Chains A and B, each alone.
Chain A
Amino acid sequence: MPAKTSASTQPPAPTTPETKPLGAQLTAKDFKGRVDPDWCPGCGDFSVLSSLEQALAELGLQPHEVIVISGIGCSSNLPGFINTYGMHTLHGRAVAVASGVQLGNHTLKVIATGGDGDGYGIGGNHFIHCMRRNYDLTYLVMNNQIYGLTTGQCSPTSAEGMKTKSTPFGNVERPINPLALAIADGATYVARGFSGQQKHLVELIKGGIRHRGFALIDVFSPCVTYNKDNTYQWFRPRVKTLEELGHDPSDFHKAMERACQWGDEIPIGLFWKRDDIPALDQLEPVLAEGGPLAHRPLGIDPEIAKSLMEELM
C-alpha cells in the first residue's frame, strides 16, 4: 500500500511499492493512490475515482497493467490519486496522448480521464477523430457542465440560459450533446453514468474497459462549488437507468433517441454498443505479430536496408 498523505501544507511522504505479490487478487484499496484527492468536499469526482478503482479490482487487473491519462482541469488531477501508471498531460490532449500510448503498447489498458471542457471543448478535434478511428481506449469524462479549476465559467455542456462568471446574463449558446455526437461519430461503446449511482457506474466502467474499441463514458459529476443548477438534488429525481426504462443498446435509432432525451427524465446507462468493428490496433498489420511496438528490437534487417537503397539507384 502506498503511503497516504492527508491534505496539508506538507508534501506527501516517500512511498513504498505495493506489497501484494504480482498476480494476487487486488481490491479497490490497492488502487488508492499515494495522494488524497484535492477536490472540494462533495465533488462528484470522488465517486468516479472510487468507481474506477473498484472496476479495475473487479476486472482482476494489476496497477502496472493500467495507464490513466488525463488533460488539465479538476478532474484531470485523477491520475495522481490512483495507483496505476499515469500521465497528466496538457489541457485537451488526453485522448491524443492516450491513442499514441495505446498504439505504442497495445497490451496496456489505456484509460483517458478528464472534464467536459478538456474533452469536448479544447480537445474537441482529438475527441471526434479518436472516436472515428475506434482506438481501444476507455474515456471517462467527468461532466459537471462548468469550468471549475478556472473558477466557474460556462463550458461546452453548460445549459442554455445558465449564469456563470463568463455568462453573467445567461448563456445564449446551446450545449453539445456528447452522447449523440459519439454515437454518430463512430464510438463503439457509448454510456452515461452518474456520480450519485456508484454501483451502476462501476458496471459501465467495467464494460468500457472490457470493450475492444473506443468507449465513451460521460458521467454526471456535479461541481458543488460552481454549478448551482445541475446539483445532486437536481439530477436525482431525473436520472433513470436504461435498464429500468428498457433499452436495446444495439439499436442505433433507439440509442440516438435516448441520447437526445433531456428534461424531467434523463437516461443513464449503456446507450450504444457494437462489436462488429475492430479496434484500430487490430486493423494495423504492423501490430499483427511481434508484440508491442515499444519493446521491439531496433535496427533494420540488412537485406531490407539494401533494398531501400537499391530503389534509389
Chain B
Amino acid sequence: MSRIDFAVGIGGAAGQGIATPGDILARIFVRRGLHLNAYNAYQSIIRGGHIFLILRASVDRVGSMGDKIDALIPLNQDTMNRHLKHLHAGGVCLYDGDKINPGPPNEGAQMCPLPVRELAGASKIPNAQNTIALGALLQMLGIDFQLFEDILARQFAKKGDAVVAENIGVARAGYDYATGHFTAFPNSLPDTGKRYAFVEGNQVLAMGGAAAGVKFYCAYPMSPSTGVLHWMARNARKLGIMVRQVEDEIGVINMAIGAAHTGCRAMCATSGGGFALMTEALGAAAMMEIPVVCIDVQRAGPATGVPTKTEQGDLWQVMGAGQGDYPRVIVAPTSIPDCFHTITELFNLVDKFQCPGIVLTDLLLSEGRASVEPSEFNFNPPIDRGEIIGWRGNGDGDTPPPEGGYKRFKITDSGVSPRALPGTPGYVHVVATDEHEEDGVLISDEFTHPHKRQAMHEKRMRKMHGMLALINPPKLFGPVNASVTLIGWGSTEGVIREACEKLAGEEAIVANNLQIKWLVPLHADHILSVLSNSQTTIIVENNYSGQFARYLRSETSFVPTGHIRKYDGEPFMPHHIVDGVKQILARTTNLYVPVHEYIV
C-alpha cells in the first residue's frame, strides 16, 4: 500500500513497563494528527511472561494491527528471540546492546544496539532502556525532540521535576545517539495538523454510557471488561454516577435492574463467564419490562478459557440467554469509536421498548485502542426515554392517574405500555417475573389462564417489530459488483475492510464487505437481498463453529461459499483473510483457518 503506514512492536515481560513507552508513543502520534490502532497481546500474569504491543500509525484511519512491523523494540532476550524474524527489509530493531544478544535479522533489516549503560549514565530511573529506545526511534522517524520532551513532562509530571528532568536527559541521550549511529527512515512521519484523542474500547463504552445518561453502573471485575468499571469508578463523582462493585454477576444484573426500575439508566459489563450468571435476570428484566444494558466483552472460552485472548464465541450464549422467549436487543459494535454510538443508541431503544439490551464486544475492541476525532463523540446525544410516567429528570413527572386504575402492562398494538416509576402517587403497581395480567396481577399460580397468557406473551414479543423499524440495516462497503463479499459481524470490520483493500491492490480481486452490527432483531430480508447479488460469499468470524454463519442460516437459509475462522485467541491480521479468500476462490477449501505468526 502506498499510504503512510508505520507499526512499532514493543515486547517484554509483564512488569517491564511496556505500557509507558506505548502511551508516550501514542500521544506523540496523535499530537501529530496521525491515526492509530494499538493491540496488546498479553498473558494472565502480573509479573513475567511475555507481552507484545503493536502500535500502528497512519494518516488514514487504522482498523487493525496490520501485517508488518517497521520497528521492533525488544526489552528482553525472549522478545528478540520470538519476534526478530517478523522484522522485514527496511525495518529497524532497537535494543539494549549491553544485555540482549541480537539474533540473525532478515535481509535489509537494520540492527540498532544501544549502549544503554553508557547512555543512562548515573541515572537511576527504572526501565531507562525504554526511554532511550524511544528517543532513538523518534530521531529515526524525523520527529522533533521538543514534542517528545513535552509528552515526557506530562507523563511524569506527578512524579516531580527531578524525575521529569532525568527522563528527558536519558531520552535526549538516545535521540542523539541515533543521529550519529543509525540510518533514519527514508520518510519522516508527517504532522497532519489534526489532533486526535487516543481511547481504549472499554473507556469508549463507559463514555457512551455517561453520555447516554447512565446514573447507575455496577460490575464484578472480569477481564477483559474491567476497564469499563475502572473508567466509571474514576469519573463517578464528577459525573454523578453511582458505581458499585458487587459480590457476583448475579448480584450485578439484579442490582442494575433494581436501579433501572426506579428510573435510572443502568448499565453493567462482564465477560462470558459473568454473563452466564446473569442470564436468568435478563429474562426477568424483559418480563418485568425494565430497560437495562449489559455488555459482554467476549474472551476465548469455554469456561475460564484464555482470559487475555479474544474471541467471538458468545453469540449463541447471548442469543440463548435465559429461559423462554423474550424481547431484547443484541448489538455488536464494529469499531472502537462505534462503541460510543452503540451505547447511546441502545439506551434509547431499550427505554422505548422497556427490555434488556445486550452489547457484544470482545477483547480486541474493548482492550484495543484507537485514535478518534474528539468531535466524533457527542456527549449530549438525543435522549428518548419512551413512554414514562413520573420521571422528573427532563420531564414533567405529573400525570393524573387514568380512570379505572393504572395498568402497568396494558395490552397495546406496539406492545409498549406506559411505565410508571415507583414513588409516583396514584400508580401503585407490582411488577413480577411470574406471568401477569395487564394490571400486574399474577396469572401464574392461582388464576392461570391460557388466553391471557397468550395475549401478554404476544404483547411483549410485538416490541420486536417496532425495534426492527428503528434499527439501520447493514450497508455494503466497497464496490457493489465485487467478485467476493466478505460477511463479518462486530469487531472484525476494520481488518476485513483492510483485507478488501489488500485484495484489490495486491491480488486484483475485487471484494466488498457486509458487516452486521445489529444482531437481534436482524434485518434478515435486507441481508438476503444484498447477498443475492454476490458471486462468492465468505463469512469471517473469530470462533470455531461459525456461530454467526449458523445464525444467519437459521434466519435466512443462506449458505455462503466459504468460511474463514480463527479461534486461537488472537485477532485476524489482514493477510489471514487475504489468504483465505484466495484459497476459497481457488476451491481448495471452503473453510480456511489461518495460523497466527506471533506467539504470545
Q: Please, which residues of chain B bring their CB within 8 A of the CB of A9?
A: 447
A98 to B421 Cα, complex, angstroms: 15
Question: In the complex where A100-B254, A101-B261, A101-B422 touch, is A88 in contact with B247 (Cβ < 8 A)?
Answer: no
Q: Are A101 and B262 in contact (CB under 8 A)?
A: yes
Say yes or no for A302: interface residue by CB 8 A criterion: yes
Other-chain contact of B262, A17, A128, A292 (Cβ < 8 Å): A292
Q: Please, which residues of chain B bring their CB within 8 A of the CB of A84?
A: 428
A309 to B429 Cα, complex, angstroms: 43
Q: Are A305 and B423 in contact (CB under 8 A)?
A: no
A-B pair number, CB within 8 angstroms: 241
Interface bracket on B: 35 or more
Q: Least Cβ distance of B552 to chain A in Å?
A: 32
Stretch at the interface among A156-164, A223-231, A281-289: A281-289
- A65 nearest in chain B by CB position: B423
Say yes or no for A206: interface residue by CB 8 A criterion: no
Q: Are A297 and B394 in contact (CB under 8 A)?
A: yes
A228 to B238 Cα, complex, angstroms: 57
Q: Least Cβ distance of A35 to chain B in Å?
A: 6
Say yes or no for A108: interface residue by CB 8 A criterion: yes
A308 to B238 Cα, complex, angstroms: 10
Q: Are B264 and A77 in contact (CB under 8 A)?
A: no
A281 to B266 Cα, complex, angstroms: 17
Q: Least Cβ distance of A109 to chain B in Å?
A: 10
Other-chain contact of A295, B255, B374, B391, B439 (Cβ < 8 Å): B391
Question: In the complex where A15-B439, A88-B434, A302-B380 touch, is A312 in contact with B198 (Cβ < 8 A)?
Answer: yes
Q: Please, which residues of chain B bring their CB within 8 A of the CB of A34?
A: 439, 441
Q: Please, which residues of chain B bring their CB within 8 A of the CB of A298?
A: 212-213, 265, 383, 393-394
Say yes or no for A97: interface residue by CB 8 A criterion: yes
Chain B positions 239 through 283: 1 when the CB is less than 8 Å from some CB of chain A, otherwise 0: 111101011101100111111111111100000000000001100
A51 to B189 Cα, complex, angstroms: 77
Question: In the complex where A103-B259, A105-B263, A305-B380 touch, is A93 in contact with B428 (Cβ < 8 A)?
Answer: no
Say yes or no for B486: interface residue by CB 8 A criterion: no
B377-413 contacts to A (CB < 8 Å) = 377, 379-380, 383, 391-394, 397, 401, 404-406
Q: Least Cβ distance of B299 to chain A in Å?
A: 24
Q: Are A294 and B254 in contact (CB under 8 A)?
A: no
Say yes or no for B103: interface residue by CB 8 A criterion: no
Other-chain contact of A14, B203, B254, B263, B405 (Cβ < 8 Å): B405
Q: Are B263 and A295 in contact (CB under 8 A)?
A: yes
A286 to B243 Cα, complex, angstroms: 9
Q: Are A97 and B432 in contact (CB under 8 A)?
A: no
Q: Least Cβ distance of B460 to chain A in Å?
A: 17
Q: Are B424 and A90 in contact (CB under 8 A)?
A: no
Q: Please, which residues of chain A bring their CB within 8 A of the CB of B397?
A: 295
A1-60 contacts to B (CB < 8 Å) = 7, 9-12, 14-18, 22, 34-35, 38
Say yes or no for B30: interface residue by CB 8 A criterion: yes
Q: Are A96 and B255 in contact (CB under 8 A)?
A: yes
Q: Please, which residues of chain B bring their CB within 8 A of the CB of A99?
A: 255, 258
Q: Are B281 and A79 in contact (CB under 8 A)?
A: no
Q: Please, which residues of chain B bring their CB within 8 A of the CB of A89?
A: 254, 257, 284, 288, 433
Q: Please, which residues of chain A bring their CB within 8 A of the CB of B238?
A: 304
Q: Least Cβ distance of A64 to chain B in Å?
A: 5
Q: Please, which residues of chain A bring their CB within 8 A of the CB of B425?
A: 22, 62, 64
Q: Are B259 and A83 in contact (CB under 8 A)?
A: no
A72 to B287 Cα, complex, angstroms: 15
Say yes or no for A86: interface residue by CB 8 A criterion: yes
A126 to B240 Cα, complex, angstroms: 25
Q: Are B374 and A104 in contact (CB under 8 A)?
A: no
Q: Are B215 and A18 in contact (CB under 8 A)?
A: no
A295 to B393 Cα, complex, angstroms: 4
Q: Are A300 and B251 in contact (CB under 8 A)?
A: no
Say yes or no for B235: interface residue by CB 8 A criterion: yes
B5-63 contacts to A (CB < 8 Å) = 27, 30-31
Q: Are A16 and B404 in contact (CB under 8 A)?
A: yes
Q: Least Cβ distance of A2 to chain B in Å?
A: 8
Say yes or no for A107: interface residue by CB 8 A criterion: yes
Say yes or no for A277: interface residue by CB 8 A criterion: no
Other-chain contact of A294, B203, B288, B421 (Cβ < 8 Å): B421
Q: Are A104 and B437 in contact (CB under 8 A)?
A: no
Other-chain contact of B424, A12, A16, A64, A309 (Cβ < 8 Å): A64
Q: Least Cβ distance of A284 to chain B in Å?
A: 7
- B376 nearest in chain A by CB position: A309
Q: Are A293 and B215 in contact (CB under 8 A)?
A: yes
Q: Are B288 and A100 in contact (CB under 8 A)?
A: no
A39 to B554 Cα, complex, angstroms: 45
Say yes or no for B449: interface residue by CB 8 A criterion: yes
Say yes or no for B306: interface residue by CB 8 A criterion: no
Q: Are A126 and B197 in contact (CB under 8 A)?
A: no
Q: Are B377 and A309 in contact (CB under 8 A)?
A: yes
Q: Least Cβ distance of A26 to chain B in Å?
A: 12
Q: Least Cβ distance of A241 to chain B in Å?
A: 33
A298 to B380 Cα, complex, angstroms: 9
Interface centre among A11, A35, A292, A295 (most CB of B within 10 A): A295
A234-280 contacts to B (CB < 8 Å) = none
Q: Are A96 and B250 in contact (CB under 8 A)?
A: yes
Question: In the complex where A88-B431, A125-B247, A312-B197 touch, is A294 in contact with B263 (Cβ < 8 A)?
Answer: yes
Q: Please, which residues of chain A bring their CB within 8 A of the CB of B264?
A: 104, 293-294
Q: Are A80 and B379 in contact (CB under 8 A)?
A: no
- A106 nearest in chain B by CB position: B262
Q: Least Cβ distance of A98 to chain B in Å?
A: 6
A96 to B169 Cα, complex, angstroms: 55
Q: Please, which residues of chain B bring their CB within 8 A of the CB of A105?
A: 262-263, 421-423
A196 to B494 Cα, complex, angstroms: 68
Q: Are A104 and B260 in contact (CB under 8 A)?
A: yes
Interface centre among B264, B377, B406 (most CB of A within 10 A): B264
Say yes or no for B229: interface residue by CB 8 A criterion: no
Say yes or no for B184: interface residue by CB 8 A criterion: no
Q: Least Cβ distance of A83 to chain B in Å?
A: 6
Say yes or no for A111: interface residue by CB 8 A criterion: no
Q: Please, which residues of chain B bring their CB within 8 A of the CB of A119?
A: none
Q: Please, which residues of chain B bring their CB within 8 A of the CB of A117?
A: none
Q: Are A293 and B216 in contact (CB under 8 A)?
A: yes
Say yes or no for B207: interface residue by CB 8 A criterion: yes
Q: Least Cβ distance of A113 to chain B in Å?
A: 12
Name A's B-contacting residues (CB within 8 A).
7, 9-12, 14-18, 22, 34-35, 38, 62-65, 67, 69, 72, 77, 79-80, 83-90, 92-93, 96-105, 107-108, 125-126, 128-129, 284-287, 290, 292-300, 302, 304-305, 308-309, 312-313
A-B contact pairs, 10 of them (CB 8 A): A17-B401, A90-B284, A93-B254, A100-B262, A104-B264, A105-B421, A294-B264, A295-B263, A308-B210, A309-B377
10 nearest A-B pairs in the assembled complex, by CB-CB distance: A100-B258, A298-B213, A104-B262, A305-B379, A294-B263, A86-B430, A104-B259, A100-B255, A96-B254, A88-B432
With contacts A7-B446, A14-B439, A77-B442 known, what are 6 further pairs, Cβ within 8 A? A11-B452, A86-B430, A99-B255, A100-B260, A102-B258, A302-B379
